[in-house]
Amino acid sequence: VLTKRIAVLPGDGIGPEVCTEALKVLEAVSERFGHQFELDVQLMGACAIDATGDPLPESTLQACFEADAILLGAIGDPKYDNNPAAKVRPEQGLLRLRKSLGLFANIRPVTAYDVLIEHSPLKADRIQGSDMLIYRELTGGIYFGEKGRTADGAYDHCTYSREEIVRIAHLAFQSATTRRNKLTLVDKANVLETSRLWREVVQQISPEYPSVAVDYLFVDNAAMQMILNPKQFDVILTENMFGDIISDEASVIAGSLGLLPSASVGETAALFEPIHGSFPQGKGLGIANPIATILSVAMMLEHFGMYDEATLVKEGVDYALRRKVLTPELNSDNPYTTEQVGCFIADYV
Amino acid sequence: VLTKRIAVLPGDGIGPEVCTEALKVLEAVSERFGHQFELDVQLMGACAIDATGDPLPESTLQACFEADAILLGAIGDPKYDNNPAAKVRPEQGLLRLRKSLGLFANIRPVTAYDVLIEHSPLKADRIQGSDMLIYRELTGGIYFGEKGRTADGAYDHCTYSREEIVRIAHLAFQSATTRRNKLTLVDKANVLETSRLWREVVQQISPEYPSVAVDYLFVDNAAMQMILNPKQFDVILTENMFGDIISDEASVIAGSLGLLPSASVGETAALFEPIHGSFPQGKGLGIANPIATILSVAMMLEHFGMYDEATLVKEGVDYALRRKVLTPELNSDNPYTTEQVGCFIADYV
Ligand SMILES: CC(C)[C@H](C(=O)O)[C@@H](O)C(=O)O
Ligand SMILES: CC(C)[C@H](C(=O)O)[C@@H](O)C(=O)O
């Protein structure tokens, strides 16, 4: 019996609902394969601010440190939105969590599912067969540099050390060797010194991965290419801010945010979460799509080395897609609830 | 007789070809309306490096200072690409020109042309009727902050003064009042201090424009919304780096880069250029689309207050689109050459 300890941070809005369904699927995996998953549910985000004044209370951080993996629902609440000057904000908890646990690589697979192809705003022939994996650096760059105000202005400093680039570049190259052997670095090396360093490091590392063809795209061009010809991409590697933009843009290819999982990994810790937000308007209505969170659980199982288990979960998702057991945004004619979709996939497993 | 002095910087690749056609149209305007346009053709970009070692020779800068407006073709050559560490690069000339002339606002209209709607990678119903104007700050932010190397890394500093934001915000608000009265600020105020300053300034200015509804979008969300629902946008206002990415992304809506003009304006100077690059592979083949440059001339005429003249040029472009007098990327069955498209529109005028 394999035992894994999982810190569960349901968060705000629809976070708790989608986590509940994902945990049903995890429970089904545990029964089927005889693993033991110990869950430690903790507060984070707006709900944590409301309860403790801190979006990432000490006990939550402690639980994350002690866990083999973290499952996060979503954070954010309208009362903190459009109020960027608020002293305490849910996002700060997320940024602090990433930094404290050293989650330096955010990994997002983006696939165009055939059955959903009409749901994408893009024409079918442009996206059919798209299958990319985005590696976004997550604990450096302008997100974590010095920032502040001057007498008449404001500043944000973007910095990268060679080592911060090296470690994620290796992950991205390794992953490319298990896929189609193509890596695209997205940067702005014609303007930024940090981008020139990224390019240098990637050029230096690339001989260690002779099978991988490396390509360099300026971020403005990448933002265009992502829509014009997404099939050209296999593994994308990029810094924190560009990754934030490009990976959200890429999500339109899938036809729904509700399908896209992500992993954020470091030397020791690993966090899994859907890429969608807390969608507060949808809270409690049973309309939230749990698939992104369920696929995040599949990524977690892969992280544990439980490949058969992960494959089974993904098959369950495929089956739900084919049978159209889907929430309203993907099946307006005959919508299923969050819970029904979760149970359907858990039953499959 | 109105006399205007225009510095013409044809640049590299297809730049000279598209400028030639745009100048034909300008010549037709001059004959038809009896204006006098004095042209001062100068080197800039890779061709200027080759000739003088400097992408922006002193004489070119001088000519730009003395002109009423500047027409730029395109700059860039493959021998400087993928070599971001090269000491002298064509882009440096462009950045220096923007800064020296104080061209702080880059303005890009993006429209979905009905006749070209099938050329967009986006589904017709998503883009039909899209009509936005993007105001990108052009002489501040991370482009022009301090940058350099440390022992083991690199840095780029992003700074904005209140005044740098105020002046472009007023332009964007004013323009919104002449359009659909909506302004969207794109920023990352949940992470960046400079973005929080942008939001503050826009909030402070907005009461001066009571008819304009202001909306705030995080840049990651904006990159998604641009594809999911481009019709929601009227005027977009954003800082330099985000504007670079978002405006190139937006260009996919038009179905071809070859149609999109831009203006870069400051207190005194104004530069007009197509948004496409120098497309060196297309040089001399007669396949470059001159329309973006011709529409840049239309923007220049508007800048001169020559509204009837500008309208006529735009009608000429519409006529070419309707009659399918278009270069190969938009008319593969019966393609016209760069020169034929230019002559057709000049004849119309
Ligand atoms: C909430 C925000 C701080 C965060 C980010 O910008 O990293 C989010 O957009 C994401 O991508 O996870
Ligand atoms: C060539 C490059 C420096 C430039 C920029 O990033 O501003 C270009 O992409 C543009 O948008 O005009």
Whole-number Cα distances in Å, A102 to A145, A156, A264, A267: 15, 21, 9, 7
B189 Cβ under 8 Å from any chain A Cβ: yes
pLDDT, one tens digit per residue, over A150-165 is: 999 999 999 999 999 9
pLDDT at B84: 56
The beta-carbon neighbor of B193 closest among A149, A191, A195 is: A149
Residue with tokens 């061009």: A221
Contact B227 A223 (CB under 8 A): no
Taking CB atoms and an 8 Å limit, are A219 and B245 in contact across chains? Answer: yes
> pLDDT band at residue B114, thresholds of 50, 70 and 90?
confident
The pLDDT value given to residue B119 = 86
B91 CB within 6 A, ligand 2? yes
Please report which confidence band the pLDDT of residue A84 belongs to, taking 50, 70 and 90 as the band edges.
low
Place of tokens 């589904």: B123
Tokens of A30: 């545990």
Q: Which domains does chain B have, with CATH numbers?
A: 1-103+266-349 (3.40.718.10), 105-261 (3.40.718.10)
Decide if A244 is catalytic: yes
| pLDDT over 70 at B196, yes or no | yes
The closest-lying atom of ligand 2 relative to the alpha carbon of residue B240 is: 7
C-alpha A314/C-alpha A118 separation (Å) is 21
Closest atom of ligand 1 to CA, residue A247: 11
Task: Note whether A160 contacts B147, CB cutoff 8 Å.
Answer: no
Distance B322 CA to ligand 1 centre (A): 44
Whether the predicted pLDDT of A81 surpasses 70: no
Give bridge partners of residue B262 from the DSSP assignment. B273
Q: Is B113 helix (H, G, I), strand (E, B) or coil?
A: coil
Q: Is the Cβ–Cβ distance between A102 and A268 less than 8 Å?
A: yes
Q: A184-210 pLDDT, tens per residue?
A: 999 999 999 999 999 999 999 999 999
B124 Cα to the center of ligand 2, angstroms: 29
Who contacts B124 (Cβ-Cβ below 8 Å, separation ≥6)? B117, B118
C-alpha–C-alpha distance, residues A283 and B30, integer Å: 63
Q: Given pLDDT bands bounded at 50, 70 and 90, which one contains residue A79?
A: confident
Amino acid at A105: A
Q: Report residue B35 CA to chain centroid gap.
A: 25
Whether chain B has a CB inside 8 Å of the CB on A158: the answer is: yes
Among this protein's residues, is B135 annotated catalytic? no
φ and ψ at residue B189, rounded to 5 degrees: -70, -10
Closest listed ligand to the CA of A274: 1
Task: For residue A306, give Cα distances in angstroms to A29, A172, A303, B95.
Answer: 10, 21, 7, 52
> Are the Cβ atoms of A227 and B249 closer than 8 angstroms?
yes
Q: Kindly state whether B160 is in contact with chain A, defined as any CB-CB distance less than 8 angstroms.
A: yes
Distance between CA A335 and CA A286 in Å, rounded? 10
Report whether residue B220 contacts ligand 1, using a CB cutoff of 6 Å.
yes
Give the pLDDT confidence score for residue A114 in this predicted structure: 86
Distance from residue A244's CA to the centre of ligand 1 (Å):
7
Q: Is the pLDDT of residue B81 over 80?
A: no
Tell me which of B40, B131, B215, B244 is the catalytic residue.
Answer: B244
Q: Considering only CA atoms, which residue is closest to atom 11 of ligand 1?
A: A244
**Which residue of B lies nearest to A127 if distances are taken between CA atoms?**
B121
Distance CA B28, CA B347 (A): 7
Provide, rounded to the nearest whole percent, the portion of chain A with pLDDT above 90.
91
With an 8 Å Cβ cutoff, are A227 and B244 in contact? no
Q: Which of A248, A308, A324, A347 is catalytic?
A: A248
Q: Which of residues 300-339 of B touch A (CB under 8 A)?
A: none
Whether A220 is catalytic is: yes
Pocket perturbation via mutation, ligand 1, pick of B195, B217, B218, B220 by most ligand atoms within 8 A of CB: B220
With contact defined as beta carbons under 8 Å apart, do B135 and B246 qualify? no
Q: How far is CA B184 from CA B203, B206, B218, B254, in A?
A: 12, 12, 10, 20
Which tokens in the block code for residue B111? 């429209």
**CB B191 near ligand 1, within 6 Å:** yes
Chain A residue numbers touching B140 (CB-CB < 8 A):
none
% of chain B with per-residue pLDDT over 70: 98
pLDDT at B63: 97
B143 is catalytic: yes
pTM: 0.96
Average pLDDT value for residue range A5-29: 97
A248 is in an annotated binding site: yes
CA distances from A346 to A5, A258, A301 (A): 20, 17, 15
Helix and strand numbers, DSSP H then E, in chain B: 12, 12
Find, in chain A, the residue whose alpha carbon is nearest to that of B165: A153
Nearest Cα residue in chain A from B86: A190
Query: How many A×B Cβ pairs under 8 Å?
Result: 176
Residue B262 CB partners (closer than 8 Å, separation 6+): B106, B107, B108, B272, B273, B274, B275, B296, B299
Q: What is the mean pLDDT of residues A141-149?
A: 97
Please confirm, yes or no, whether B244 is among the known catalytic residues.
yes
Residue A90 half-sphere exposure toward CB, CA atoms < 13 A: 24
CA of A275 to the centre of ligand 1 (A): 9
| A143 DSSP 8-state letter | G
Chain B residue numbers with beta carbons less than 8 Å from the beta carbon of A200 are 85
pLDDT confidence band for B217 (50 / 70 / 90) = very high
Mean pLDDT of A140-146: 98
CA–CA distance, A196 with B154 (Å, rounded to integer): 9
Residue A190 beta carbon below 6 angstroms from any ligand 2 atom: yes
The band of B1, judged by pLDDT with boundaries at 50, 70 and 90, is confident
**Residues contacting B116, CB < 8 A, separation 6+:** B254, B255, B256, B259, B321, B330
Q: What is the mean pLDDT of chain B?
A: 95
Dist CA B339 CA B347 (whole Å): 12
Q: What are phi and psi of A330, to 5 degrees?
A: -110, -5
Q: What are the residues facing A261 on neighbouring strands?
A: A274
Confidence of residue B28 (pLDDT cuts 50, 70, 90): very high
Res. B85: pLDDT tops 70: no
* Among B50, B81, B220, B347, the one annotated catalytic: B220
Distance B90 CA to ligand 2 centre (A): 11
Give the nearest ligand 2 atom to A188 CA.
Answer: 6
Per cent of chain A over pLDDT 70 is: 98
State yes or no: pLDDT of A83 exceeds 80. no
Is residue B219 within 8 angstroms of chain A, CB to CB? yes
In this predicted model, what pLDDT tens digit does every residue of A205-235 receive, in sequence order?
999 999 999 999 999 999 999 999 999 999 9
- A126–B193 C-beta distance less than 8 A: no
pLDDT at A82 over 70: no
Distance, in Å, from the CA atom of A118 to the CA atom of A107, rounded to the nearest integer, reads: 26
| Residue A186: CB atoms within 10 Å | 28
**Nearest by CB to A152, which of B126, B161, B191?**
B161
Q: What are the residue ranges of helices labelled H in chain A?
A: 15-33, 46-52, 58-66, 90-101, 124-127, 162-177, 193-205, 219-228, 240-250, 291-303, 307-322, 338-348
- Is the confidence at residue B83, as pLDDT, over 70? no
Across chain A, what does the average pLDDT equal? 95
Return the pLDDT at B2: 86
Which pLDDT band, with edges at 50, 70 and 90, does A256 fall under? confident
Closest CB to B190: pick one of A89, A154, A242: A89
Query: Which residue among A191, A193, A224 places its CB closest to the CB of B248?
Result: A224
Rounded to whole angstroms, how far apart are CA atoms A69 and A269?
Answer: 6
Q: Which ligand is nearest to the CA of B106?
A: 2
Record the tokens describing residue A123, joined without a space: 């024409």
How many whole angstroms separate alpha carbon B116 and alpha carbon B119? 5
Whole-angstrom distance, CA of residue B43 vs CA of residue B58:
10
pLDDT in tens, B125-153: 999 999 999 999 999 999 999 999 999 99
